Structure formats: structure tokens, C-alpha cells
């Protein structure tokens, strides 16, 4: 499976290297005028991301960049600069948003920023009248429309572009793999910019192994506070106190339920505990115009509480909203919860997010929800994605499985195998430079308590994955201790396993598996008689079908690790 995926990725990489993308270098004066209309000062990370995007667009190769930044950290401005660089050159830009509300918000922002240019900005979504939509499609085909903000409606085959140069995908974790491929397939030379606060693990993993470039926006807006997050069961008294406190300070609140069927019951509860507050309701089965009116009205101050499904998680900007309750939080994904939390605390006031879940939920689910409490600082989205990658796997990078059928403990062994397989196909590495899967059931992770910054941990993981010999691992371990102090057990295990993989590849072992009471070494070619004898004289085992099989004295993962180290020490000198 790893080699099949590597072959596919190698074909994609080869295609990208061979395809010459259009070079976009915008007119200096027009671009400078556009930049001057940004009313704030760019953060350092924004500046870096914008420079990287502009360099990608002028490189002559198709851009494929992920911009990861928390809600309100400036992703939209990066997208605006990219769009300006392309549209001011006369090409077209397609901005895809998962929901109508977010598309509408982007449309208003893009229209305002491009108002004094010759770039025509339009919108395609279910709320756009049919006649208007047909006019927009005609404009796209003729080239009169320079930028279109759209939901998935634009994926229809009836939509044609005169000169599409850039695709921007916002909230990419909301789209399935097929949807994203349908967008990209419009042109193999298309520049692609994806944006997300919590990218799905597959996208994050793609960035980590070099398939996709990544820019991280980790600088928080000035004077903005992190949203205080708590997890617990429903309590009517506490909920009333929180909702009234928000009302009395002139603010608004959200109450979000997982299903439309939950709305009536929760609405009744709200009428009982806070009868003095006005409640507005929004959900996806309402008419588009009606739902739009409710949500826009709430943003303008109409209503004290908005009771809705998770349709509010993207695009609803209500500066006065500082409190959110998520009903049955265990039924939401981690990206959804993080986006919902991002709806509050967008001003200078303290925001509060209450995750309501019963005490009897599964332990794994509780751990996932507890991560929201742990990562409640500004910029936590990337850390949550890393944790999600650790917990549930990356999924199939090139297929539909985004849930992660490859179970991971810490950083994915599959990821490293894939990276090596891609390198082997693209650069012709020998067996000694390829990787070996070692399945011992031992956790491989850098604890957040040891290296607190998720970006630094990501960099350390990536460097460890690329180490190809013992010398590189020696230098890595020494640097680790110099920078962060004495190694915790988890990191020591991580490095020990890395050493075993390097050693196993040198011996000619292609796979190592351990069960409750057994250990199997699979060889790429038949080992020498000298190697087999070196082991059999000390350890009881047998050799059959290119495999050395041993009985283990224990099912403990760490003891399996030590057992394997002892075996490889004997095999290495026997090989020489």
C-alpha cells in the first residue's frame, strides 16, 4: 500500500515538475495601491506567508501551499494578496467556501478591497438568483469576471473559465477528497492555496512530508484574549448565570446543537431557564433567504441568543458574541469544535466556550474533548491538528479516507515509510536508505510538556523522520538535550526506535512485527547462514519463508524493544 501511494505521489510530483504554470508578477503600482488599503499592520508571520505565496506564483511551477492559522490570525489577508497578484495580471481567481454564509462574508470583503480596481468580483451560491447566476457564468466564460466567490455550486460542469489562474480553498477540512480533486482538475497547471485553522490530518501530513508547502500564522491579533474553555455536563443554573452575565454586559451568546432534531428540545430548555432573553433559531432546512436574514440580523444585534446547528462554525462574524454553549459536544469533530469556539471572543472581551457532554461518554471521546480545554490558547488550531494526527491517523493521502484507517501512536510510521518510498522512486535511494516498519506497540511521541510549541515539535518530528544514519541520530539526540534538557522516556523511546529502523535497513530487514508473545523479522533476501547462527545460538527461534521468528518472554512493549535491540546487535557484526 505504501509503495502504491508513493508511486501515485511520484507521478503527481513528476507532473508538477514537468508542468509550467503561468507566472504572475503583478504591476507594482496597482499591487502597492491594493496593499495600502489594508487597515492594519501585517504580523511577522503574515508577511512571511505573503512573501512565500508571491514567490510561488512567480516561480513558473504550480503552487500548492497550505496556510494554517487560527480564527482571526490573518488568513483572509494572505488570500486577498494572492488573489490581487493574479487578478491584477488579468487572470481569474476562484475562491471556494464550504457554506453560503462564509461565501457571502468573503464576497463582501473581496468586493470592498477590490472596489477601486478594474477587477470584477462576483458570487455563486444557492442564494444567488438563477438569472444572476447565469450572468456570472457568462462573465466567467468571457473573462469579464475576475474573481468569483463560490460554494460547491461552481463545481458544476456548466461553469467555464476564460483564464483561471488561482484556486483558493477556505476551510479545506469541510471538503471531501473528491471535491478537492474536482476543483484541482480544472487545470493541471493551476496554482492552489488552501486555508484552514485545523487542517484535516491528511493535509497536515502532506505538508509534513513535503508534498505540500505550509505557512503557519501563529501571531495573535493585538490585545485579543484566548477563549476560556470548560467541559462538563449540562447544568441549568450555571447556563442561566452565564447567559445572563453575557446579556448584562451588552453581549450575545450562541447555543449550538449537533442535529436539527435537537433544536425544539433545547429551545424549550432555554425558554425555561432564561425566559427574559430573546432566542433566534437557524438551521440548514430553513429557506436560504430566511436563514440568511436570521444570521445577518443576529450579527446586527437582533436577538440575545442564536440557537443553531453547526452552520455558524464558518463565516458568522459577531463581534458582540462572547459566550457559546455546545450541546452534546461529543458528537462534534475536533475541527468543528475549534471553529465553533472561534465564533466568540473576537473583540477585546473575554470569550467563554462551554462544552456540554454527559459523564458516561467513551474515554477516547473525553480525551478528545479534554484537548479543547488544554489547547485553549490563541493559535491552538495547528496544535489540535497535530494532536488529531497523532490520535487517529492521517488517512489515505490520495484517496477518500480522511478519517485515518492507519492507526498511529505519535507520529506516523506510515508517514515515514511513505516519505522514504517517495524518495526511493524520485531519487533512486538504495535499500540502506529506505525505511523499515517496526510494529512493537510502543508510543512514539514528543510530549507537549517537554516541547511546548507545536510548531517546534513539528519541525523536530520532520527532522527525525529524515535521519538516515546513526551519526545523524547522534547529532539529533545531542541537540535535543542541549535545547530542552534531559530526555523524557517518550523521546528516548522515539530515538531508540529510529536507531533500530536505520540498523534494520542496513542488515536487509524489511519489516519487524511483534504480537503478544512473538517477534518476526522479515528479510528482503535470504540472510546468510552466519547471521542465522549468530542468533540461534543465543535465542530460541526458527527461520521460514524469509522470516526469523522468536518467542517473546513478555508482552510488554518496552521489553520487546530491548529484546529487538539485543538481536540486531548480534546480526550487525554477523553480517560483516
In total, how many domains does the chain have?
A: 3
Q: 290 vs 340, 352, 442, CA distance in Å?
A: 22, 28, 54
207, burial (CB in 10 Å: exposed 0-12, middle 13-18, buried 19+)? buried
Q: Are residues 90 and 191 in the same domain?
A: yes
Indicate if the pLDDT at residue 409 is higher than 60.
Answer: no
pLDDT beyond 60 at 326: yes
Asked whether residue 213 falls in the same domain as residue 263, the answer is: no
Average pLDDT, the chain: 78
Residue 417 has pLDDT above 70, yes or no: no
Whether the pLDDT of residue 296 is over 80: the answer is no
Alpha-carbon gap, residue 258 to 290, rounded angstroms: 20
Are residues 147 and 47 located together in one domain of the fold?
yes
Domain presence at residue 420 = no
Q: Please state, in angstroms and rounded to a whole number, the distance separating the CA atoms of residues 25 and 56.
A: 10
Q: What is the pLDDT of residues 123-143, one digit of tens each?
A: 998 778 889 999 999 999 999
Q: Is the pLDDT of residue 29 over 90?
A: yes
- 72: domain CATH number is 3.40.50.300
The model's pTM: 0.59
Residue 521, beta-bridge partner list: 512, 548
Write down which residue in 159, 192, 217 finishes a domain. 217
Task: State the pLDDT at residue 45.
Answer: 83
- Separation CA 335–CA 344 (nearest Å): 15
At 513, the pLDDT band (50, 70, 90 cuts) reads: confident
- The CA distance from 561 to 525, in Å, is 24
Q: Which of 333, 361, 377 is the last residue of a domain?
A: 377
Identify whether 343 is part of a domain. Answer: yes
Half-sphere exposure of 488 (CA within 13 A, CB side): 11
As a whole number of angstroms, the distance between CA 23 and CA 66 comes to 19
* Contact between residue 519 and residue 552 where contact means Cβ atoms under 8 Å apart: yes
Alpha-carbon torsion (437, 442, 445, 450), positive or negative:
negative
- Same domain, yes or no, for 272 and 183? no
Whether residues 203 and 239 share a domain: the answer is: no
Query: What's the confidence (pLDDT) of residue 297?
Result: 85
Domain of residue 471, residue span: 430-575
Q: Does residue 404 lie within any of the structural domains?
A: no
Same-domain status, 211 and 281? no
Q: What tens digit of pLDDT does each residue of 95-111 get?
A: 998 877 788 889 989 99
The reply to whether 182 and 238 lie within a common domain is: no
Q: Which of 173, 192, 217 is where one domain is finished? A: 217
- pLDDT of res. 129: 86
Beta strands per DSSP E along 99-243: 121-124, 147-150, 164-170, 191-196, 213-217, 228-232
Residue 282 lies in a domain: yes
Do the beta carbons of residue 299 and residue 318 sit within 8 Å? yes
9 and 151 in a single domain? The answer is yes
67-71, 405-409, 539-543, 547-551: least confident range: 405-409
**Stretch 331-352: mean pLDDT:** 79
pLDDT of 339 strictly over 60: yes
Is the residue at 412 inside a domain? Answer: no
Structural domain contains residue 398: no
Q: What is the CATH number of the domain that holds 556?
A: 3.90.1150.50
Residue 422 lies in a domain: no
Instruction: Count the alpha carbons within 13 Å of 353 in the hemisphere toward its beta carbon.
Output: 28
Cβ atoms < 10 Å from Cβ of 543: 17
Residue 198 CA to residue 364 CA, distance in Å, equals: 19
Percent of the chain exceeding pLDDT 90 equals: 29
Could you tell me the pLDDT band of residue 268, with boundaries at 50, 70 and 90? very high
Q: Is 368 within the bounds of a domain? A: yes
51-55, 62-66, 193-197, 511-515: least confident range:
511-515
Whether 446 and 359 map to the same domain: the answer is no
Percentages helix, strand, coil for the chain (3-state, rounded to 5) are 45, 15, 35
Sign of the alpha-carbon dihedral angle for 268, 272, 273, 279: positive
Please check whether residues 63 and 203 belong to one and the same domain: yes
pLDDT over 70 for what percent of the chain? Answer: 74
Q: Is pLDDT above 70 for 148?
A: yes
Give the DSSP letter string of 212-239. SEEEEE-PPPTTPPPPEEEEE---HHHH
Residues 232 and 199 in one domain: no
3-class SS string, 348-403:
CCCCEEEEECCCCCCHHHHHHHHHHHHCCCCCCHHHHHHHHHHHHCCCCCCCCCCC
154 shares a domain with 26: yes
Dist. CA 69–CA 74, nearest whole Å: 7
Identify any residues that bridge with 352 across adjacent strands, giving them in sequence order. Answer: 228, 323
Amino acid at each position: 500500500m505504501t509503495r502504491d501511494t508513493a508511486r501515485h505521489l511520484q507521478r503527481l510530483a513528476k507532473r508538477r515538475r514537468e508542468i509550467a504554470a503561468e507566472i504572475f508578477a503583478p504591476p507594482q503600482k496597482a499591487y502597492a495601491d491594493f496593499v495600502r488599503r489594508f487597515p492594519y499592520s501585517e504580523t511577522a508571520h503574515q508577511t512571511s506567508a505573503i512573501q512565500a505565496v508571491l514567490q510561488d506564483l512567480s516561480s513558473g511551477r504550480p503552487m500548492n501551499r497550505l496556510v494554517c492559522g487560527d480564527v482571526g490570525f490573518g488568513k483572509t489577508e494572505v488570500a486577498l494578496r494572492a488573489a490581487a497578484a493574479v487578478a491584477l495580471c488579468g487572470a481569474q481567481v476562484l475562491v471556494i467556501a464550504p457554506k453560503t454564509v462564509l461565501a457571502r462574508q468573503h464576497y463582501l470583503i473581496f468586493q470592498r478591497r477590490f472596489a477601486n480596481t478594474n477587477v470584477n468580483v462576483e458570487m455563486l451560491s444557492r442564494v444567488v438568483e438563477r438569472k444572476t447566476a447565469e450572468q456570472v457564468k457568462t462573465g466567467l466564460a468571457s473573462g469579464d469576471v475576475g474573481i468569483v466567490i463560490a460554494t460547491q455550486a461552481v463545481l458544476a460542469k456548466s461553469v467555464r473559465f476564460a483564464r483561471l489562474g488561482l484556486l483558493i480553498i477556505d476551510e479545506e477540512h469541510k471538503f471531501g477528497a473528491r471535491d478537492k480533486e474536482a476543483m484541482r482538475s480544472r487545470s493541471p497547471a493551476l496554482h492552489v492555496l488552501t486555508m484552514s485553522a485545523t487542517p484535516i490530518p491528511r493535509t497536515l501530513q502532506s505538508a509534513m512530508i513535503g508534498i505540500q508547502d505550509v505557512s503557519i500564522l501563529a501571531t495573535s491579533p493585538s490585545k485579543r484574549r484566548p477563549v476560556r474553555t470548560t467541559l462538563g455536563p449540562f447544568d441549568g443554573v450555571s447556563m442561566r448565570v452565564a447567559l445572563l452575565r453575557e446579556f448584562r454586559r451588552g453581549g450575545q451568546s450562541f447555543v449550538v446543537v449537533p442535529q436539527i432534531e435537537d433544536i425544539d428540545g433545547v429551545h424549550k430548555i432555554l425558554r425555561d431557564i432564561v425566559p427574559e432573553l430573546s432566542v433566534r433559531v437557524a438551521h440548514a432546512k430553513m429557506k436560504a433567504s430566511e436563514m440568511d436574514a436570521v444570521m445577518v440580523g443576529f450579527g446586527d444585534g437582533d436577538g440575545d441568543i442564536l440557537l443553531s446547528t453547526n452552520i455558524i462554525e464558518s463565516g458568522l462574524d459577531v463581534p458582540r458574541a462572547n459566550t457559546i454553549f455546545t450541546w452534546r459536544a461529543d458528537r462534534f469533530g475536533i475541527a468543528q469544535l475549534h471553529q465553533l469556539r472561534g465564533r466568540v471572543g473576537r473583540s477585546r472581551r473575554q470569550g467563554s466556550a462551554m462544552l456540554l457532554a454527559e459523564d458516561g461518554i467513551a474515554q477516547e471521546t473525553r480525551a478528545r474533548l479534554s484537548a479543547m480545554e488544554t489547547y485553549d490558547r490563541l493559535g491552538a488550531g495547528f496544535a489540535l491538528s497535530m494532536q488529531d494526527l497523532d490520535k487517529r491517523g492521517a488517512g489515505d493521502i490520495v484517496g477518500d479516507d480522511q478519517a485515518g484507517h492507519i492507526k498511529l501512536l505519535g507520529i506516523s510510521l506510515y508517514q515515514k515509510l511513505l516519505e522514504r518510498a517517495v524518495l526511493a522512486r524520485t531519487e533512486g535511494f538504495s535499500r540502506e536508505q529506505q525505511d523499515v516498519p517496526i510494529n512493537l506497540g510502543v508510543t512514539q511521541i514528543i510530549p507537549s510538556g517537554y516541547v511546548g510549541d507545536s510548531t517546534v515539535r513539528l519541525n523536530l518530528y520532520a527532522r527525525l523522520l529524515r535521519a538516515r544514519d546513526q551519526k545523524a541520530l547522534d547529532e539529533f539526540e545531542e541537540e535535543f538535550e542541549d535545547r530542552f534538557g534531559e530526555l523524557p522516556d517518550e523521546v528516548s523511546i522515539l530515538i531508540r526506535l529510529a536507531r533500530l529502523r536505520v540498523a534494520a535497513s542496513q542488515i536487509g530487514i524489511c519489516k519487524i512485527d511483534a504480537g503478544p508473545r512473538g517477534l518476526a523479522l522479515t528479510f528482503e533476501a535470504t540472510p546468510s547462514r552466519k547471521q542465522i547462527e549468530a542468533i540461534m545460538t543465543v535465542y530460541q527461534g526458527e527461520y521460514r519463508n524469509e522470516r526469523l521468528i522468536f518467542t517473546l518472554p513478555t508482552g510488554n512493549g518496552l521489553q520487546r524493544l530491548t529484546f529487538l535491540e539485543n538481536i540486531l546487535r548480534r546480526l550487525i557484526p554477523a553480517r560483516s
